[in-house]
Amino acid sequence: MQLAIFGAGSTGCYLGGLLQLCGHEVSLICRERIRCSILDAGGITLTDYQGQNEKVMPTALITQLTDETFDAVFVTLKCHQLETVLSDLQQLAEDGAELIFMQNGLDSLELIRHHLPSQKVKQGITPFNILSQDNAHFHRGTEGKFLFHRTPVTEQLAKQLGGIGFPCELHVDMQSMIYGKLLLNLNNALNAIADQPIKTQLENHKLRKVYAAAQREWLAVAAMEGVELAQFTAVKPSWMPIILSLPNWIFLHLAKTMLDIDPHARSSMWEDIQIGRKTEIEFLNEAVANRAEALGIEAPINRKISALINSLEQGQSVSLDRLY
């Protein structure tokens, strides 16, 4: 198939590399900086915490769309960037492409959905962490499977990705998946504030209690909305805050799988802060706080986390003490 990754950053380049390995013609629609990095490195290097190490060159590196057509386009742009490329997305859909939106969090797709043909709009989830390194090297630091809306296109891709050792899950209803993924994504901002590897952060009892409190607020919102969260870990979503709140001597024993991650892995929001890029906080913790407020309940931890990220975006220093 003719496939494209629109907004090929860390996640997009990793996904694009895997799809190229499956034998498809993959075009990366990316910034000039990414294009030059891939050309200078002679391709994309894919590694993970379990020993993956492969190099692949995409079929095409595109910085400006003209008249290209694709069977499917995976949209891996940041949430706040979607509106800026609406005309391109409309043209791609009009020319026959299935659009698979891979954004984290809440409501970003709702800003543009009504401008696109409904039958062409699908969603997907990347439930693991990808860190961009030098020389077009993209490293997966945590476990997880790609999740996609079930369509004829994704059914074929899931079989092929499974064939190269990268299983996927397909679903008809993605809402519970997105809600369940957000329960984990609430840590993205906390990891950026803590400014330390995810593994180190999760071994810190005080930081885990903050993470657990943020999760409880989202679980309360989801319960009031009547949405059951999909399960992404070994325990049910409702048990996650309980497990996280346990003292270290119990948690470190029970959560071995959760801690089976690259010791250097950090969240994408941490990476955003480090390079001065706008984060997706308004679609993550801030969205939880706003939904809670609309429902007449409070979400003070997610509100505080959002405020600290806003301060970091403005170049200010922050203290974790504001969360304890």
pLDDT band at 189; cut points 50, 70, 90 = very high
Contacts (Cβ under 8 Å, ≥6 apart) of 88: 6, 65
- pLDDT, residue 198, reads 92
Question: What mean pLDDT do residues 68-79 have?
Answer: 96
Q: What is the pLDDT of residues 12-47, one digit of tens each?
A: 999 999 999 999 999 999 999 999 999 999 999 999
- pLDDT, residue 104, reads 87
Q: What is the pLDDT of residues 74-130, one digit of tens each?
A: 999 999 999 999 999 999 999 999 999 999 899 889 889 999 999 999 999 988 888
The phi and psi torsions of 170 (rounded to 5 degrees) equal -115, 140
Q: What is the pLDDT of residues 205-231, one digit of tens each?
A: 999 999 999 999 999 999 999 999 999
Strand 137-140 versus strand 44-48 pairing type: parallel
What fold does the segment set 2-172 form as a domain?
Rossmann fold (3.40.50)
Shortest CA distance to 208 belongs to which of 176, 167, 245?
245
Q: How many residues does the chain have?
A: 324
Q: Domain 176-317: which CATH class? A: mainly alpha
pLDDT at position 202 over 90 = yes
Helix (H, G, I), strand (E, B) or coil at 271: helix
Contacts (Cβ under 8 Å, ≥6 apart) of 321: none
The phi and psi torsions of 87 (rounded to 5 degrees) equal -65, -40
CATH 3.40.50.720 domain locations along the chain: 2-172
- pLDDT, residue 259, reads 67
pLDDT band at 172; cut points 50, 70, 90 = very high
Mean residue pLDDT of the chain comes to 94
- The pTM for the full model equals 0.88
pLDDT at position 322 over 70 = yes
- pLDDT, residue 262, reads 79
In angstroms, how far is CA 322 from the centroid of its own chain? 26
CATH 1.10.1040.10 domain locations along the chain: 176-317
Which residue type occupies 259?
L
